Amino acid sequence: MTEPVEMWWARRQWSKGAEVPYPIGHYRRDWERYPVLVRQYHPDLNSGITLTQVPPAAEVYLLWQCDSGHRFVATPEEQRQRPGQSRRRSTWCPECAAGATRRAAPTPARSLSPMRPRAVRVAQRTAPSRSAVGEAFHSALAPKPASAAEGDLRHRLTQRLAVDFGFNAVRVARPFFTRYEVWPDIVIDELRVAIEYDTTGRDGLEHVGRREESDRRKDRLLRASGWEVIRIRCGKLRAIGPWDIEAGGVSTKTVDRLIDRLGEIRGELIVTSYRVH
């Protein structure tokens, strides 16, 4: 049962038989990938208990304060799950999010032709093509690189591997957000390995909460299609897959580790055959 922070802390003191059941810093690694939540949390509003003393899955009501000064109560899980489809910074605060929704202009509804109902149009748009599951191809729907670092990583790899970097999509067996294709940041068809470059983004919204769950589902679809995935996880993001690399950013060392990972996955001899000498 979810309870106020004072009652939760007292119960933990009793159950663990300790004045301080969780020392300061105990859960630092769990919270450091949520920089916005670290900024929104104030120990003085929560009986002096620091965020690093609170388990991320604890059923406890905490008091948060956003950058605009709004105070609101939410559990750790509720806060961690706030990032959804919206990329507005206001998504971290329910009052700011509600205000942004009210300010947004309503989109006029479009009339649908009775000969082409929306359900039919969606089915036609998302139906799989003749491409085989696991086939790499170039998709006009794939988004452009999201950051300069991603472009830098791609450039560094072109200097190290003689492979075709022209593909940007892989056909999958099940729909991913209504489409039978996924768009990894970098596609290496020769090795059937997808590379993703992950950061939390400027407002701490990317690759956390629901977005991390989406990343996991995307990876499962790729692996079910005969591909492997390497995620370079930056900005305190922790590995979510067996081949992921935790790094501070794009560097020679990061690329070296990435090449080594490719060798572990597909075999050093095979990867060596694609190296630029």
In a domain, 277, yes or no: no
95 with 136, same domain: the answer is: no
60 with 154, same domain: the answer is: no
64 with 152, same domain: the answer is: no
DSSP states of 87-124 as a string? --GGGGSHHHHHHHHHHSPPPPPPP--TTS-HHHHHHH
Q: What span, in angstroms and rounded, lies between the C-alpha atoms of 274 and 240?
A: 27
Q: In CATH, what number is assigned to the domain containing residue 202?
A: 3.40.960
The predicted pLDDT at position 103 comes to 60
The predicted pLDDT at position 114 comes to 42
Which of the four pLDDT bands, split at 50, 70 and 90, describes residue 106? low
Residue identified by tokens 């300069």 is 148
Domain that holds residue 48: 3-103
Cβ-based neighbours of 102, under 8 Å, separated by 6 or more: none
In a domain, 215, yes or no: yes
Which of the four pLDDT bands, split at 50, 70 and 90, describes residue 68? confident
In a domain, 110, yes or no: no
Q: Which of 146, 132, 190, 143 has the alpha carbon at shortest distance from 168?
A: 143
Q: Which of 249, 252, 274 has the alpha carbon at shortest distance from 263?
A: 274
In a domain, 267, yes or no: yes
64 with 174, same domain: the answer is: no
How large is the average pLDDT for residues 102-131?
47
DSSP states of 237-266 as a string? PPP-STT-EE-SSS-HHHHHHHHHHHHHHH
93 with 166, same domain: the answer is: no
Q: Which of 142, 273, 136, 149 has the alpha carbon at shortest distance from 199?
A: 149
Residue identified by tokens 């690189």 is 145
In a domain, 154, yes or no: yes
141 with 236, same domain: the answer is: yes
Residue range 140-178, pLDDT digits in tens = 999 888 789 999 999 999 999 999 999 999 999 999 988
236 with 148, same domain: the answer is: yes
Query: Among the three residues 103, 121, 140, which one is the final residue of a domain in this structure?
Result: 103
Domain total of the chain: 2
Q: What span, in angstroms and rounded, lies between the C-alpha atoms of 219 and 277?
A: 31
99 with 139, same domain: the answer is: no
138 with 253, same domain: the answer is: yes
148 with 257, same domain: the answer is: yes
pLDDT > 60? residue 117: no
Given a contact cutoff of 8 angstroms between Cβ atoms, the answer to whether 213 and 240 are in contact is no
97 with 135, same domain: the answer is: no
Residue type, 201: G
In a domain, 170, yes or no: yes
Residue range 168-211, pLDDT digits in tens = 999 999 999 889 999 999 999 999 999 999 988 877 777 888 88
Average pLDDT over the chain reads 85
Query: Among the three residues 103, 121, 155, which one is the final residue of a domain in this structure?
Result: 103
In a domain, 120, yes or no: no
86 with 197, same domain: the answer is: no
Q: Which of 255, 257, 275 has the alpha carbon at shortest distance from 162?
A: 275
pLDDT > 90? residue 35: no
